[in-house]
């Protein structure tokens, strides 16, 4: 089709130029030959308005079809993205609920720690209590030692009194 008409057109143009050159060199070529060659060169296949309209309608149909396919693909992608977004939001809502529960637990633990830390004994308090217990122990041991000495002293006095009583009872007999 197209390459054959191009080659025949080129061949006719070459023939026309050769013919003009030959006619000028020889002094003239027949008028009929020149007229036929020039008509072949000038006449090009012209497109009729119906062919132009058909090409335009085909172009519009092609664009419409490609737009329809593109729109279909776009709506499919949007629907798929919407479903994925809803799934992600559901997961996010669950995570937020878990975080709020954990946040409540953390707040409760912080208040419990604050309460316990106010009640808890500190290292300095423990050292002071230990010193106080040691002092009290020393006082008790000291009092026990004094009591023991006074008991021993009282025992000696009782033995002396029994000995004296015995000696008086044995003298009186």
Asked which of 20-29, 57-66, 109-118 is least confident by mean pLDDT, the reply is 20-29
pLDDT category at 42 given cuts 50, 70, 90 is low
For the whole model, what pTM was predicted? 0.38
Across residues 103-131, what is the average pLDDT?
87
Question: What pLDDT, on a 0 to 100 scale, did the predictor assign at position 76?
Answer: 96
Over the stretch 53-77, which tens digit does the pLDDT of each residue have?
899 999 999 999 999 999 999 999 9
Which residues touch 50 (CB under 8 Å, ≥6 apart)? Answer: none
CA–CA distance, 106 with 116 (Å, rounded to integer): 15
Q: What is the DSSP string of 60-118?
A: HHHHHHHHHHHHHHHHHHHHHHHHHHHHHHHHHHHHHHHHHHHHHHHHHHHHHHHHHHH
pLDDT at 163 over 80: yes
* Per-residue pLDDT, 47: 64
Average pLDDT over residues 130-152: 90
| pLDDT for the residue 99 | 94
Whether 37 and 14 have beta carbons less than 8 Å apart is answered as: no
Give me Rg for the CA atoms of the chain.
64
Q: How confident is the model at residue 11 (pLDDT cuts 50, 70, 90)?
A: low
Instruction: Look at residue 46 and give its three-state secondary structure.
Output: coil
């Amino acid at each position: 089709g197209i390459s054959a008409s191009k080659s025949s057109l080129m061949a006719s143009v070459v023939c026309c130029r050769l013919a003009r050159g030959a006619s000028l060199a020889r002094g003239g070529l027949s008028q009929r030959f020149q007229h036929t060659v020039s008509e072949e060169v000038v006449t090009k296949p012209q497109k009729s308005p119906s062919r132009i309209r058909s090409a335009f309608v085909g172009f519009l149909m092609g664009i419409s079809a490609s737009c329809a396919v593109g729109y279909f693909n776009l709506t499919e992608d949007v629907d798929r993205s919407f479903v994925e977004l809803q799934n992600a939001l559901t997961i996010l809502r669950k995570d937020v609920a878990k975080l709020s529960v954990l946040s409540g637990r953390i707040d409760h633990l912080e208040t419990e720690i604050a309460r316990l830390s106010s009640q808890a004994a500190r290292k300095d308090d423990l050292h002071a209590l230990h010193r106080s217990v040691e002092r009290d122990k020393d006082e008790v041991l000291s009092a026990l030692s004094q009591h023991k000495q006074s008991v021993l002293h009282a025992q000696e006095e009782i033995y002396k009194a029994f000995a004296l009583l015995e000696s008086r009872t044995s003298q009186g007999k």
